Amino acid sequence: MTNTPSAKPGPLSGLKVIELAHVMAGPACGRLLSDLGADVIKLERPGGEDSRHMAPPYLGTDSAA
């Protein structure tokens, strides 16, 4: 996760975090820490984060219509 430069540093600037969580709540927390200025390093298992493969439920097979 990368921070976008802002006018003033966040309250967690200078803090380094290693995020090992997976699915929804863990990555959301890592994003929040990053938004507050922390440098977050996300480690994922081989094959990637489970929530990367989640999609919203589809009502039918022809969702492109």
Residue 32 lies in a domain: yes
Question: Which parts of the chain have pLDDT scores under 50?
Answer: none
- Report the C-alpha gap between 12 and 34 in whole angstroms: 8
Q: What are 4's two structure tokens?
A: 């976008």
Q: In this predicted model, what pLDDT tens digit does every residue of 26-40 receive, in sequence order?
A: 889 999 999 999 999
**Residue type, position 19, single letter:** E
Residue 38 lies in a domain: yes
Residue 35 lies in a domain: yes
- pLDDT for 47 equals 86
- pLDDT for 5 equals 58
User: Domain count of the chain?
Assistant: 1
Taking residue 30's Cβ as centre, other Cβ atoms within 10 Å add up to 20
CA angle 40, 38, 43 (to 5 degrees): 10
- pLDDT for 60 equals 65
Residue 60 lies in a domain: no
CA angle 56, 28, 33 (to 5 degrees): 160
What range does the domain containing 31 cover? Answer: 16-46
